[in-house]
């Protein structure tokens, strides 16, 4: 098993990227321009710098990043200074945020728009437990009577109850999608809200996704 970041120029659903990558599981990645379907957060794959984080995103929510390299997943703090100096050429590094947990401690949830922290929305996150288990987590929302979503404080508490010591919030809202091979006909395991229906059909086209592949399988 190995982790990687799948990228879709012009956007693709998580399911499309997962199938293209021959993935076993996948979750939506970081933030993007919904009109251009282009990423607006840092992404490096090996020696190739693909995207950088916009100033607005750094101020609003990008305070963490995840680096994946084979079976290894590392969640770390992120800011403008770190991004400027970052030169790791091993694996793929994707910035996102907020960073929720780091080395077993709560991370201060600073933001230029506190509504993003305290309002309830669908959420996606990648997290690590104290035993090194990697969790891909989605929380459904925007489905009155079925799923109300979480704010970031609730999401962090939920992940702590699962035994997580490190956790990074990913893009949420209509982007939140968890895919698992063979789960059902589409592979979509949660209830994405982009079609405003409580079903598995509401996937949004996104700019990138975190994928789990069999070792030796390349990501396209």
pLDDT for 218 beyond 70: no
- Contact yes or no for 170/29 (Cβ under 8 A): yes
pLDDT-based confidence at residue 111 (cuts at 50, 70, 90): confident
Check: CB of residue 176 under 8 Å from CB of residue 192.
yes
Segment 95-122 mean pLDDT: 94
* pLDDT for the residue numbered 49: 96
pTM: 0.95
Residues of the chain above pLDDT 70, percent: 98
What is the distance between the alpha carbons of residues 205 and 106, in angstroms, rounded to a whole number? 32
How sure is the predictor about 77, in pLDDT bands with cuts at 50, 70 and 90?
Answer: very high
Q: Is the pLDDT of residue 18 over 60?
A: yes
Distances (CA, A) of 37 to 34, 68, 101: 5, 23, 29
């Amino acid at each position: 098993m190995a982790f990687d970041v799948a990228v879709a120029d012009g956007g693709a659903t998580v399911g499309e990227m997962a199938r293209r990558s021959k993935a076993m599981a996948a979750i939506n990645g970081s933030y993007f321009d919904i009109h251009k379907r282009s990423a607006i957060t840092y992404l490096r794959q090996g020696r190739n710098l693909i995207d950088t984080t916009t100033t607005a995103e750094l101020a609003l929510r990008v305070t963490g990043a995840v680096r994946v390299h084979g079976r290894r997943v590392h969640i770390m703090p992120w800011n403008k200074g770190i991004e400027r100096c970052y030169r790791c050429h091993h694996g793929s590094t994707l910035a996102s945020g907020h960073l929720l947990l780091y080395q077993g401690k709560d991370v201060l949830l600073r933001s230029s728009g506190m509504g993003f922290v305290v309002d309830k929305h669908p959420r996606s996150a990648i997290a690590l437990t104290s035993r090194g288990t990697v969790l891909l987590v989605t929380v459904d929302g925007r489905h009155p009577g079925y799923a109300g979503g979480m704010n970031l404080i609730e999401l962090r508490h939920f992940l702590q109850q699962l035994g997580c010591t490190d956790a990074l919030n990913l893009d949420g809202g209509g982007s939140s999608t968890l895919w698992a091979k063979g789960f059902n006909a589409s592979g979509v395991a949660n209830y994405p809200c982009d079609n405003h229906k409580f079903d598995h059909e509401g996937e949004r086209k996104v700019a990138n996704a975190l994928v789990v592949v069999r070792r030796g399988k390349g990501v396209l």
